[in-house]
Chains A and B, each alone.
Chain A
């Protein structure tokens, strides 16, 4: 037979060399074509007597096989029924057939049947479904190339390794080691993989196929070790083995602590490992496929794949880039200002392979950028993550200066000087006087309108906002802000530059606060209002953590300093005069910053106490002297809802107002700029998940409870009415499960019921209202 995704060459010994080379993919992945063809080969292998065994290799240099095509998975609609299971079980089924030679467990045990030997030759990385294919082979030969990686990173997209990975990996390397790979997404080098038992043999690069063939020839009939009677897990397994019981207890607690129960995949992987270790592999594989189907049919994996991979990659590849502008070749960047931001921008620019001329008022000031990078590089060198030579080469790419003339040959300017219009105006004029006519001028302002700065430019069409986040080398987002007069070249240059520094870009309209600084302040404000209401500070911080936010709002407020919030508030109030709308938090900010001198971490005190080195200690108990604890504390669910909606409402409004052009940008901006819980796929994905009608009803009821700031944008109200969704999922309104409904607050269940035209109130039993909603839904689907 001939195949499109791989070639099969049978040698004189009858050993079939399967060379995978999936067309149209840079790296081999399990896509629809390979999924369709590989089972046919397995059938051929098991039935054709001329084939004595097989060696599987890759026809691509970069990888053996890098996993599944996420676009294929994004489209998968796993149902929780026989069809859903069958679809989830496809890969397990053909890989198992290759492993057993098509024999049943009974035939193996009672009749002594064996399989034809299959070995794999790993010259490149094997991840996800690639490693699962390798593990379904009877023997694994790896090249000694230390750059090779073996891993099962499915958890990062909210899935589990569904091609037998959760069963074969722990059977090969033990539960504990397998958990590190599958739950934490860590990959193994060839030597570590060999030491743990994942790899059977390591040979010089280029010799894996020969070694694999040698093994196949020497083992004409074989079985996986777990098909041999008396098999035991390395390190033990099972519900009564003291070691594995301890492992399960500890891994459950650690995983729950870290995941906050927000990632169903984490629990599912651990369950596959636990349940699968008690039963034979055939049953275990079925268990794995069942859990896999639950993840595929849930919202988390879909949302994570869509935002964290598909949309993120598209944005990074330049989805927003104007067509027709030739690639802007950026070799040298002029960075203006060597403060914290300028130094950070300098660092990531060099890291992106470009040279930097960094300018400041004096040489001494400009040298700060050198010191900044030197510190990071020294650390890397001392930890062995970078050679001394590479470190020196890195530093040699930074040229500090106080002379504008040195900028004359740069390909791009990024300005990060003090946030004052007059200072900015001055550097714009001085810089434009020397740089080339085609050079794009980017401004890293976070507060000043780009259009306002562009008036000082001779070439406003080449002027654009590039908003970095601090610390620049850690924060993954870049807001790119064209003002009204920005031309295609500037946008193209900004995105081409971004591609080199590998941030996730979103293009944002030139309005006060852009996207992130419109969404972030209401969230901090909500937390402050809660403190003023007497809600316990630990409750606020822990509820944020439980949602999956990386840091509590009070801690982050201390980090960005209350002083900054206070200053912005004061200047906004002055600027806007009578038009200023109170946030309600003004007296609090004034008290903390002016009266109590608790202006933030940098000032040694804020919501938290700090030691002299700036280490965060405990929450400040004295707060209750000024804002006494409320006698009745809200439920954690209410606090979580306020925090989440305080981020979702302004995110939604930004989309409605056209601040971002699409839901994708809002989702990327919120996750990578603000740490919005990634399991949701972002605020707008989350709105789709919970249903627009539910979002609108909840927001409106919150607006009544807490204030008009929760009022949803009109566009969302209209969309909810017409049954639309943000990402174009099937219309007709969301169908709620009983579990989802019981997790909602009672008042929201009532609001949802009312929005569906059901007569219900909070004085009814919540369970009754839920039943009514479920009944109405099933009536609708029947109709």
Chain B
């Protein structure tokens, strides 16, 4: 089978996902078009060479609807032969889109493709697309639906993770993100976002708080206690997990991922196209995997996706030099480390979504890019990138520096 190589990865900084966030005035199509423009321009390639673009987007309605990828491709001034597809695998959409681009290369459908994602959470709020899963009684009952925050608290309760464990992890996320920015570790992939006049509106992740500490986090109230206790969701979760006496609500705004706006793109192609266009391959895709897991606890999928990807690559957990798992909730990462016996030293080394935010459709592509940069910077060989996913799923990709 044809090998797929990552030639470049670029992302926007992540802007606070509220009406006072710096990227709120930028349309999602513009965000997507700007990263597509950047990936073309900085590699100096004819956009007609890019045969297909897959972009993740989790709330594809309103101005993110109608296959936003195709609109963004056109708005970026790409050749009209470049097609676009919008994919949704909830929080792993961006990674799944990159995997689709890689798969198209591996399958011989494309020589060069882009995977990525976009989400303007300040403009198209989470849940705007509705869905049968929690709303249709047949589905809600059958799947014992609970909101993700309750699932995250269930993970913490079931696996004995205390609020202090989660808060300490979160403090470290901010520290690592701060340090990464200070040392310029994101410089290669982050491109400034510009407004209609061409003036930069944001060039740095907006939600990192370097002074975050145990005391400041300790002051925050649990975010999902009311939902769990007053709206019945704890009771629902306990029906599926009767071994739990009482769910401890330990997640809050400070140890969960932030709501942000952003976009990312990853340029993926076969060896020949790189040679022909004079591009230097930066990483090789070793394996990819997606998997379903129990939907009520919902967010334990990364463990199973990672194992599946490792097996496909013929590797074991200890063969991985760097792990990157989206910090949707602190307990998700801590549980993964516990289950896979992964040391914090090689997990999310440059911080994650707790510090920098989680623009749903784009995050997977962003953290894939982070790992491409970090393998080069730290002179390491292998990285496993994974995300937990709504509905009980996991997606993982293993890359290897070339």
A contacts, CB < 8 Å to B: 239-240, 245, 248-250, 252-258, 260-261, 267, 270-271, 274-275, 536-539, 541-543, 545-546, 618-619, 633, 636, 639
Contacts and interface: CB of A to CB of B under 8 A. Distances in A.
Contacts of A240: 130
Interface stretch (B12-20, B94-102, B227-235, B313-321): B227-235
Interface stretch (B194-202, B242-250, B376-384): B242-250
Contact of A256 (B132, B136, B140): B140
A260 B233 contact: no
Interface of B: 130, 132, 134-138, 140-141, 144-146, 231-233, 235-236, 238-239, 242-246
A257 to B, nearest CB: 3
Given A253-B140, A542-B244, 14 more contacts: A248-B134, A249-B140, A252-B134, A254-B231, A255-B232, A256-B140, A256-B236, A261-B141, A267-B141, A539-B242, A542-B243, A542-B245, A546-B242, A633-B243
A257 B145 CA distance: 11
B235 to A, nearest CB: 3
Given A239-B135, A245-B135, A257-B232, A252 B140 contact: yes
24 contacts: A240-B130, A248-B140, A249-B140, A250-B232, A252-B134, A252-B137, A252-B145, A253-B140, A253-B231, A253-B232, A253-B233, A253-B235, A255-B137, A256-B140, A258-B235, A261-B239, A267-B138, A271-B136, A271-B138, A274-B137, A275-B136, A542-B239, A542-B245, A618-B245
B130 A239 contact: yes
Nearest to A264: B141
B115 to A, nearest CB: 30
A274 B233 CA distance: 19
Contacts of A639: 242
B146 A253 contact: yes
B136 A619 contact: no
A747 B235 CA distance: 29
A245 B243 contact: no
Contact of B239 (A260, A270, A539, A618): A260
Nearest to B129: A240
A249 B135 contact: yes
B207 to A, nearest CB: 26
Nearest to B246: A618
Contact of B243 (A239, A261, A536): A536
A248 B243 contact: no
Top 6 A-B pairs, shortest CB-CB distance: A257-B235, A542-B242, A538-B245, A252-B140, A257-B232, A270-B137
Nearest to A270: B137
Given A538-B243, A539-B243, A256 B135 contact: no
Contacts of A267: 137-138, 141
A275 B139 CA distance: 12
A256 B245 contact: no
Contacts of B137: 248, 252, 255, 267, 270-271, 274
Contact of B232 (A254, A270, A271, A545): A254
Nearest to B127: A245
A538 B135 contact: no
A639 B130 CA distance: 37
A287 to B, nearest CB: 12
Nearest to A248: B135
B368 to A, nearest CB: 33
Contacts of A239: 130, 132, 135-136
Contacts of B145: 249, 252-253
Nearest to B234: A257
Nearest to A542: B242
Given A245-B130, A261-B141, A267-B141, A256 B232 contact: yes
Contacts of B239: 256-257, 260-261, 542, 546
A538 B244 contact: yes
B236 A253 contact: yes
B187 to A, nearest CB: 41
B140 A543 contact: no
A261 B146 CA distance: 15
A253 B137 CA distance: 9
B141 A252 contact: yes
Contacts of A261: 141, 239
Nearest to A251: B137
A254 B236 CA distance: 8
B197 to A, nearest CB: 35
A601 B121 CA distance: 51
A253 B146 CA distance: 8
A279 B138 CA distance: 17
A260 B245 CA distance: 16
Contacts of B132: 239
Contact of B231 (A250, A543, A619): A250
B135 A619 contact: no
Nearest to A275: B136
